[in-house]
């Protein structure tokens, strides 16, 4: 592949587009990232993909690749369904096949492929699951990603929390994408917050969010029916 300047750059990864064959892309991580790459390849979220450089990079084909922040059109309800399908597919693979999950989700690491597939590349937040818990060993800020209630209650490090902290964070991401602004979500205002989405009340999306935002981590689920 003819690499030039990357089209997307972060501290943890870069994405390049081949200038001679524009449908060829290269996702290159700063370090070996086997589990995250597997979550994109083995789920077929990235079609026509080839793992290279001993799980440090991934070549794939696409008609377009962009960050969420480069998106100019406002998201529709149909788009949220696509996001749920993509991100839940990726997270489900990580949990059940790699025993890992994301500590949290942010908008900066949300990448859109072909306008229809959404992948999350927050490699800094990928943690091992042991006995249904994940270890929080590094400090984090309130603005790095969407925080679950249990993360907000951590007073010292290291600490262990239930892996379904990721469910809550994912739901907060979805609500922010739909509403277009960040709002604090907690037990007292979760239902009122959801009720502000008049168009989705009593829909599959509404109940998906309600299940994922349950205050008790063990009772959260990612069911879209």
Q: Is residue 135 within 8 Å of residue 158, measured between CB atoms?
A: yes
Q: What's the rounded Cα separation, in Å, for the pair 27 and 15?
A: 5
What is the signed CA dihedral for 90, 91, 93, 94, rounded to 10 degrees?
Answer: 120
pLDDT for the residue 188: 45
CATH number at residue 100: 1.10.510.10
- Is residue 91 a part of any domain in this protein? yes
- Are 78 and 131 in the same domain? yes
- Are 203 and 180 in the same domain? yes
- Is residue 25 a part of any domain in this protein? yes
Over the stretch 177-215, which tens digit does the pLDDT of each residue have?
877 655 555 444 555 666 666 667 778 888 898 899 998
- Are 175 and 211 in the same domain? yes
Over the stretch 215-225, which tens digit does the pLDDT of each residue have?
899 999 999 88
- Are 138 and 119 in the same domain? yes
- Are 53 and 144 in the same domain? no
- Is residue 225 a part of any domain in this protein? no
- Are 151 and 77 in the same domain? yes
- Is residue 147 a part of any domain in this protein? yes
- Are 20 and 80 in the same domain? no
Over the stretch 9-28, which tens digit does the pLDDT of each residue have?
999 999 999 989 999 999 99
Between the alpha carbon of residue 81 and those of residues 84, 101, 113, 214, the distances in Å are 5, 21, 15, 20
Q: What residues make up the domain containing 55?
A: 8-62
Over the stretch 128-181, which tens digit does the pLDDT of each residue have?
999 999 999 888 887 889 999 999 999 898 999 999 999 999 999 988 887 765
- Are 142 and 108 in the same domain? yes
- Is residue 1 a part of any domain in this protein? no
- Are 141 and 54 in the same domain? no
- Are 122 and 84 in the same domain? yes
Enter the tokens of residue 14. Answer: 């870069």
What is the count of structural domains for the chain? 2
Q: Please state the three-class secondary structure of the chain as a single string.
A: CCCCCCCEECCCEEEEECCCCCCEEEEEECCCCHHHHHHHHCCCCCCCCEEECCCCEEEEECCCEEEHHHCCCCCCHHHHHHHHHHHHHHHHHHHHHHCEEECCCCCCCEEEECCCEEEECCHHHEEEEECCEEEECCCCCCCCCCCCHHHHCCCCCCEEEECCHHHHHHHHHHHHHHHCCCCCCCCCCHHHHHHCCHHHCCCHHHHHHHHHCCCCHHHCCCCCC
Between the alpha carbon of residue 130 and those of residues 27, 92, 101, 155, 162, the distances in Å are 29, 16, 11, 21, 10
- Are 51 and 106 in the same domain? no
- Is residue 130 a part of any domain in this protein? yes
pLDDT for the residue 2: 65
The yes-or-no verdict on residue 32 having pLDDT over 60 is yes
- Are 95 and 157 in the same domain? yes
Over the stretch 36-89, which tens digit does the pLDDT of each residue have?
999 999 999 998 899 998 999 999 999 999 999 888 777 787 888 999 999 999
- Is residue 3 a part of any domain in this protein? no
| Closest by CA position to 58, among listed 88, 38, 43, 87 | 38
- Is residue 2 a part of any domain in this protein? no
């Amino acid at each position: 592949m003819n690499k030039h300047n990357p089209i997307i750059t972060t501290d943890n990864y870069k994405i390049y587009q081949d200038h001679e064959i524009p449908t060829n892309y290269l996702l290159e991580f700063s370090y070996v990232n086997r589990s995250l790459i597997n979550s994109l390849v083995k789920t077929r979220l990235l079609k026509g993909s080839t793992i290279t450089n001993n799980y440090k990079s991934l070549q794939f084909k696409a008609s377009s690749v962009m960050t969420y922040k480069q998106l100019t059109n406002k998201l529709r309800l149909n788009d949220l369904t696509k996001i749920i399908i993509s991100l839940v597919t990726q997270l489900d693979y990580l949990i059940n096949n790699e025993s890992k999950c994301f500590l949290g989700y942010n908008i900066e690491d949300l990448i859109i492929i072909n306008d229809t597939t959404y992948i999350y590349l927050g490699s800094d937040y990928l943690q091992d699951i042991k006995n249904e818990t994940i270890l929080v060993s590094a400090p984090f800020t309130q603005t790095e990603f969407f925080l679950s209630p249990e993360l907000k209650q951590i007073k010292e490090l290291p600490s262990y929390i239930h892996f379904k902290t990721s469910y809550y964070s994912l739901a907060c991401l979805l609500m922010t994408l739909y509403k277009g602004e960040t709002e604090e979500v907690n037990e007292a205002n979760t239902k009122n917050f959801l009720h502000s989405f008049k168009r989705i009340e009593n829909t599959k999306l509404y109940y998906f969010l309600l299940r994922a935002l349950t205050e008790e981590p063990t009772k959260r689920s990612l069911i879209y029916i």
